[in-house]
Amino acid sequence: MNPSGLPPLASLPGPQIRAVHDELHGDLLELSMGPHHPSTHGVFRMVVTLDGETVVKLKPVFGYLHRNHEKIAEGASYLGSMPYTDRLDYLCSMTNNWSYALAVERLAGQAVSERAEYVRVILAELTRLLNHTCLAGFLLQDGGASGTPLMYAFREREKILDLFESLSGSRMMCNYQRFGGCRADPSPAWLDSARALVDGYGRFLDEYEALLTGNEILMARTQGIGRLSPQLAVSAGVTGPMLRAAGVGYDIRKVDGYGFYPRFTFRVPIGADGDTYDRYMVRILEMRESIGILRQALRDIPAGPILDPKAKQRGLRPKAGEVYSRIEGPKGEIGFFLISDGGPNPYRYRVRPPSLINLTILEDMCLGQSIADSVVILGSVDIVLGEVDR
């Protein structure tokens, strides 16, 4: 696919990094960062080769958190895998749930109630707010701010988690979506508190941006750093805010129009330089669009059943066939590929993890940058190891 008519990758010059290696310049230093390291966002390891402080080679090593998710799911019932999807990207259990529910619904041909579609949009956009807020906090933490942005971000995240908890009973492992709808109906009081949160979120973003976006140290640390060309991004299958920061306006909410997204008006911000600053800013701007979607959804949400009681959950046996469903998760395209042989559990179950696929180009972005930048670049990729390793 070539969505923006870009020239092929092979015609572009690659990063021209050649380590000078003689008695004047000394040896290269190979540094193993992680899996125990404050800024590798979990048990991730980068084997970095340094020339002075410049990265000349970077090898990502992962798999420390492999839990055999996909094979286990092939032995579990369709519903039995739902709580397991919470643990993929544990910041975004709501969108993981939705993507999986969508796959099974398509496989089984189940319809979704109108109220449930609205609730799904609301929860997905709340998840996007939560994820991007955390990312902005962690990114600044990687850039050396001593916790203040992170704590501001976590204050807001806490409010969203409170909403999730009162709706689903769990802060992060929500296990909320069901085939054909949602597990619990949000009360009017819940919707009111969601409205209050959405109304206050713009103010929080203003405050956060006043603290950081115009900060010269932040701009000096992120502008022109970790450039990702749109060609490379498209060739590597990068999705989500990273792809849009590289200048490709590709958002599955617009492209596929799944759920009720075509009913809402929102814009898709795109970057021009594809550097770390763009990746940060695109997420900030996306949050502002999410607030708009949430306002519309919370205004228009209809009454009605959230889940058809006759919709089959346990003992679901979809007819034989295969399906790939995807949604625009906060980190990118989160998709599930299922093959059914008509039995009670999927014959094949496969996750398309945005974190892992976005991570594959880490070396290309880090070459020629300093070790300090590689940490910030990794932060701007936005990975969760639960999803990278599965």
Footprint of other proteins on this chain (CB under 8 A)? 29, 31, 37-39, 50, 53, 140-148, 150-152, 155, 211, 213-221, 223-224, 244, 249-251, 254, 267-272, 277-278, 281-282, 285, 370-373, 375
The least distance separating other proteins from the CB of residue 74, rounded to whole angstroms, comes to 38
Q: Which CB sits closer to other proteins, 100 or 152?
A: 152
The least distance separating other proteins from the CB of residue 193, rounded to whole angstroms, comes to 20
67, two tokens: 């839990």
The least distance separating other proteins from the CB of residue 45, rounded to whole angstroms, comes to 14
CB atoms within 10 A of CB 224: 13
The least distance separating other proteins from the CB of residue 282, rounded to whole angstroms, comes to 7
Q: Which CB sits closer to other proteins, 50 or 116?
A: 50
The least distance separating other proteins from the CB of residue 229, rounded to whole angstroms, comes to 18
3-state secondary structure of 244: helix
The least distance separating other proteins from the CB of residue 8, rounded to whole angstroms, comes to 22
CA dist 362 and 59 (Å) reads: 9
H or E element at residue 197: helix 188-212
Long-range contacts of 344-348 (CB under 8 A, 24+ apart): 344/77, 344/78, 344/315, 344/316, 344/317, 345/73, 345/74, 345/75, 345/76, 345/77, 345/78, 345/80, 346/73, 346/74, 346/78, 346/81, 347/74, 348/74, 348/322
CA dist 292 and 286 (Å) reads: 10
Best CA proximity match to 332, nearest among 250, 229, 231? 250
Q: Which CB sits closer to other proteins, 148 or 360?
A: 148
The least distance separating other proteins from the CB of residue 296, rounded to whole angstroms, comes to 17
Q: Which CB sits closer to other proteins, 219 or 339?
A: 219
Q: Which CB sits closer to other proteins, 111 or 217?
A: 217
**DSSP letter (8 states) at residue 263:** G
The least distance separating other proteins from the CB of residue 380, rounded to whole angstroms, comes to 13
Best CA proximity match to 275, nearest among 314, 237, 227, 318? 227
* Pairing mode, strands 321-329 and 332-340: antiparallel
Q: Which CB sits closer to other proteins, 172 or 372?
A: 372
Q: Which CB sits closer to other proteins, 148 or 187?
A: 148
CB atoms within 10 A of CB 42: 17
25, two tokens: 């310049």
Q: Which CB sits closer to other proteins, 121 or 225?
A: 225
